[in-house]
Amino acid sequence: MLTSTLIATTAAATPLEWSPTVGGIMLFCNILAVAFAKGTIQIPNAGPAMPSGNLFGGFGLPAVLATTSFGHILGVGVILGLHSLGRI
C-alpha cells in the first residue's frame, strides 16, 4: 500500500531538467557559500591540504567539502523553491 502511494506521488511530480539558468543559480549559491564560509570557519586550513591551496581559497579538504556541500544544499533549495513558484 505504501509503495503504490509513493510511486503515484513520484510519478505525479514534474521533473526539473538542467538548463543554464539552473546551473547559474547553483554556481551563485556555491559562491555565496564560500563567501559565508570565509567569515565563519574558525580553522579553514585544517586537515589534509588541497593540491592547490590558492585555487580553493586557502581551505583544507574538510572546509572545501563542507562549503561545497552547503552550497549544493542551498542551491537545491533555491532551485526547487523557484521551480515551485513557477519562476524557472
Q: Count structural domains, the chain.
A: 1
Full residue range of the structural domain in which residue 77 is found:
17-85
**Domain-embedded: residue 23:** yes
Cα–Cα distance between 25 and 77 in angstroms, integer? Answer: 10
**Domain-embedded: residue 22:** yes
pLDDT in tens, 44-74: 777 787 776 666 677 888 888 899 999 999 9
pLDDT in tens, 23-36: 999 999 999 998 99
What predicted TM-score, i.e. pTM, was given to this entire model? 0.74
Alpha-helical runs (H) found in 1-88: 2-12, 20-40, 61-85
Give CA torsion, residues 77, 78, 79, 80, to 10 deg.
Answer: 50
Residue 63 corresponds to which cell in the numbers above?
A: 572546509
